[in-house]
Structure 1
Amino acid sequence: MSKITLIPCVDPENPVESARQYNHTGADAVAYCEKKASLEKIKEIKEVIDVPLYAGGGIRDLEDVKKVLYAGADKVCLGAAVLEDKDIVKKASDRFGKDQVMVSMDLEELEDPGAFAREMKRLGAGELLLLASNGYDKKMEAVEAVKKQSELPVMISVTSLEDAEREAAAVKADAVAVHDAGAFSVLEWKKDMKKNGLDPYLAESPIPFEEFKLNSDGMLTVVTQDYKTNEVLMVAYMTREAYEQTVETGIMTYYSRSRQELWVKGDTSGHYQYVKSLTIDCDKDTLLAKVRQVGNACHTGHYSCFFTDLVKKEYKEENPMHVFEDVYDVIMDRKVHPKEGSYTNYLFDKGIDKILKKVGEECTEIVIAAKNPDPEEMKYEISDFLYHLMVLMAERGMTWDEITKELMERK
């Protein structure tokens, strides 16, 4: 039996908070679907989750598809629009790739689900969602026909956790989306499915704790980092129980040497650390944990426990992201605190049209420089372009964080 992807649908009354909870409790993806998907809600949901976001509802044409994906959805679900104009599948797939296109199939409206699925694959769909209220036998037949004729991944939609387990076992779908089931822990749901013979995605350590080299206190040293910035947040320790609980729950659990007990980071403060990766070093005596930090890691209120400088020498920052952010911060400071004689303030004072004109001119300069055999000139022109681009970003209130997130989504 293949692995089953479990996707809870967010609570329409409180979509952002329910998405956050599902993300933190082990969802493989999160689904958001309304009669007319709100682009603002998609953006807000994407801000609080790390797993893929599927979105659909009221998508009629390619422009709607673009808006939903640009708002942050990883995959768009096409429904009624496909029955009216099947070419929307091809247009969306050609523009954004099949991995970002799902098509829902209402079995009540289709005479031949297999033939429809085959056509959807030809047009460029990457996944199919089966909607039906009929019994297991009908669904099983439909899933078998769809898989046989299209070889596409198939997701089924259910309205309760009990139905999810029964139907996943009966129809052998690749993924299950659960609607209107209320708040629940995805991790506990996965455990129940595992007990009942199904195979959801559950984190497992390939190396048993016995193979790690422990310190003199019988514990494993843990270095914890922010998974986005790689900033070191703290150093702590784990016993076997703490390590196994961390792997199982996806929430960093340490052993408190002072209290002599397990310590779930965040239980008291709410500043939980959600696991993104656990890596052991070459000697197997130090664990590197990359996490999504909620709030601050340090009990003093600092984001990181490492905030007291002892020895510090001046050096040039060469991390590209830090350089971009530092220059952008200077530009934003000029906007908030104008400085007489500043070229940046001159651009802000002249307004958006002047800034756009400079961005266009610098683009042209790059093209000209690229034809020059000396690469040095191109380096200078690209630097000029990036500076003016950041002025434009500051003028429109856009940050590098937004840009890098978008690039990562495309990756």
Structure 2
Amino acid sequence: MSYKRLIPCIFIAEGKAVSWFDDRTVIAEDAIELAKRYSDNGADELIVFDLSDYANEHDEAIDLMKRMNRIIRIPMVAGGNVKRQEDIKKILYAGSKRAILNFSKQDSVKLIEDAARRFGKEKLAVSLNDFDALFKHQHVIRECCSEIIFMHRLDLNSVANITDIPCVIVTDTMESPELFKILESPGVKGLSGRFVSQPDMDFAAFKDQCEQRHIRMTSYESMMEFSQFQTNEQGLLPVIVQHYKTQEVLMLAYMNEEAFYHTIKTGRMTYYSRSRQQLWVKGETSGHYQYVKSLTIDCDNDTLLAKVDQVGAACHTGNPTCFFRHIAGNDYDETNPLRVFESVYETILDRMEHPKEGSYTNYLFEKGIDKILKKVGEEATEVVIAAKNPNPEEVKYELSDFLYHAMVLMALKGITWDDIIKELADR
């Protein structure tokens, strides 16, 4: 049996999160905060539906998706108001893992073949609200998408017989027996809808209920038991914590058996405090959570290496890492390129959100897109001119100017270095 996922959905209308596609009752004024709450509390993925009718509302929904993607630590799948290839591109560029095409609309059926050629079938999902649409379009669905999202209660056994594409069921039922029945279906990879999307949803508790019914839920699964590790006299295992992107060592902490399994279950780093003699989830009070990317044991089974996605600073002093005080050795250049890019980008974002008098960056933002584009073009030309000269130092200088102005443009457009890296990796 495959692992199952709990996938809350957010319906966006006029910039707010509403209850359902045919019920505009507001459940959250701040859709971004709701997305973060789902991510922090144990959801495995997020579906976002744009219910807008007009172009300006659609653009606002795309902007909300971008801002959601920056703060959540789970994949996002999004759709709604998709009428042309450009709409699909906007959703994918907003950070969505897949764009959803609604197959109750004939235009979507026409769009998907071109979209699959342009973006790849793995970037596309199809939403259906009736069984006939699946049967009628099963060939094009199989050829052009990698996920089906059902917006209706269906005969799940029949669905499994028609397609082997992973399915997510979005249901309005609040009845546990029916929810369990959906998750027990072999063709279903995830459950979404009203129950899973409650603002105060306790994902861990519901996953426990599923596990008791032998429904395997998505979680990290350790290849070793804690009893196989070589702990110290207090039954503790030291954990070296490293940033998964920059490879910077962030901190050293300890786990006991309970902390280890809590980390495995939740995907958030949990430690044992030797001073307080109790468990603590990193970031529980500060918001500076550490999300697990990988756990590796050393050759002697006595030290754990955790690679994490660190939110904010790892150190209680506010420093990015606990190891910031140099005490011996020769100075050497340990500049990490990605860390430098992200640091400059964060400074640019800070200027955009908190203007500083006399700041050149703020001058560019005040002048707007035309001025920024003009500077990007000018700096690109300067790179070309410098490259024609024999001194490579000029190229280095001009490229630095170009990259800075490109980052200002990125910030204005809501594009992050993660977006660029993912795009390059996909290519």
State the TM bucket, normalised to the shorter chain. Answer: 0.7 to 0.9
Letter in 2 for 1:120: I
Q: Name 2:106's counterpart in structure 1.
A: 83
1:115 corresponds, among 112, 130, 136, to 136
Q: How does 1:228-239 map to 2 (within 5 A)?
A: 228-239=245-256
Shift of residue 242 of structure 1? Answer: 2.0
Q: Name 1:390's counterpart in structure 2.
A: 403
2:44 corresponds, among 15, 28, 39, to 28
Shift of residue 200 of structure 1? Answer: 1.9
Letter in 2 for 1:227: Y
- Higher-Rg structure is 1
Tell me, yes or no, if the aligned pair for 1:190 and 1:202 is still in contact at 8 Å: no
Tell me, yes or no, if the aligned pair for 2:246 and 2:336 is still in contact at 8 Å: no
Separation in 2, partners of 1:331, 1:295: 17
Separation in 1, partners of 2:338, 2:217: 36
2:264 is paired with a residue whose SS is helix
Tell me, yes or no, if the aligned pair for 2:172 and 2:193 is still in contact at 8 Å: yes
Letter in 2 for 1:168: L
Q: How does 1:7-406 map to 2 (within 5 A)?
A: 7-10=7-10, 12=17, 13=28, 14-36=30-52, 38-79=61-102, 82-107=105-130, 111=132, 113-122=134-143, 124-133=144-153, 138-145=155-162, 147=163, 151-160=164-173, 162=176, 163-170=178-185, 172-179=187-194, 181-182=197-198, 183-311=200-328, 313-317=330-334, 319-322=336-339, 324=341, 352-353=373-374, 355-360=376-381, 362=383, 383=396, 386-396=399-409, 398=411, 402-406=415-419
Shift of the 112–318 alpha-carbon distance from structure 1 to 2, 3 Å rule, reads closer
Separation in 1, partners of 2:375, 2:260: 57
Separation in 2, partners of 1:172, 1:85: 24
Q: Which moved more, 1:54-63 or 1:294-303?
A: 294-303
Separation in 1, partners of 2:335, 2:250: 21
Q: Deviations over 1:28-73 (max 9, x none)?
A: 2111113135011101110111221001111111111111111111
Q: Name 1:341's counterpart in structure 2.
A: none
1:174 is paired with a residue whose SS is strand
Shift of residue 80 of structure 1? Answer: 5.1
Shift of the 336–101 alpha-carbon distance from structure 1 to 2, 3 Å rule, reads farther
Tell me, yes or no, if the aligned pair for 1:127 and 1:152 is still in contact at 8 Å: yes
Q: Deviations over 1:145-164 (max 9, x none)?
A: 2x1xxx32222212246243
Tell me, yes or no, if the aligned pair for 2:42 and 2:203 is still in contact at 8 Å: yes
Shift of residue 388 of structure 1? Answer: 4.3
Shift of the 187–382 alpha-carbon distance from structure 1 to 2, 3 Å rule, reads farther
Letter in 2 for 1:115: K
Q: Which moved more, 1:212-221 or 1:200-209?
A: 212-221
Alignment RMSD? 3.5
Shift of residue 76 of structure 1? Answer: 0.7
Letter in 1 for 2:261: E
Tell me, yes or no, if the aligned pair for 2:372 and 2:405 is still in contact at 8 Å: no
Q: Which moved more, 1:311-320 or 1:282-291?
A: 311-320
Letter in 2 for 1:298: C
Q: Name 1:373's counterpart in structure 2.
A: none
Q: Which moved more, 1:243-252 or 1:262-271?
A: 262-271
Shift of the 408–263 alpha-carbon distance from structure 1 to 2, 3 Å rule, reads same
Shift of residue 318 of structure 1? Answer: 5.6
Letter in 2 for 1:248: K
Q: Which moved more, 1:383-392 or 1:189-198?
A: 383-392
Shift of the 327–196 alpha-carbon distance from structure 1 to 2, 3 Å rule, reads closer
Separation in 2, partners of 1:169, 1:394: 47
Tell me, yes or no, if the aligned pair for 1:325 and 1:400 is still in contact at 8 Å: no
Separation in 1, partners of 2:207, 2:372: 54
Q: Deviations over 1:131-183 (max 9, x none)?
A: 2245xxx34323422x1xxx322222122462432222247423322346413
Tell me, yes or no, if the aligned pair for 1:57 and 1:79 is still in contact at 8 Å: yes
Q: Which moved more, 1:171-180 or 1:395-404?
A: 395-404
Q: Deviations over 1:260-316 (max 9, x none)?
A: 333333444444433332221222211122333344433334343223222363323
Q: TM-score, normalised by structure 2?
A: 0.77
Shift of the 229–187 alpha-carbon distance from structure 1 to 2, 3 Å rule, reads farther
Tell me, yes or no, if the aligned pair for 1:331 and 1:391 is still in contact at 8 Å: no
**Identity fraction in percent:** 33
Q: Deviations over 1:178-235 (max 9, x none)?
A: 3464131323322221211222212221111122122343321111233343332221
Separation in 2, partners of 1:287, 1:401: 36
Tell me, yes or no, if the aligned pair for 1:4 and 1:174 is still in contact at 8 Å: yes
Letter in 2 for 1:202: S
2:275 is paired with a residue whose SS is coil
State how many pairs are aligned.
Answer: 382
1:224 is paired with a residue whose SS is strand
Q: TM-score, normalised by structure 1?
A: 0.79
Tell me, yes or no, if the aligned pair for 1:106 and 1:131 is still in contact at 8 Å: yes
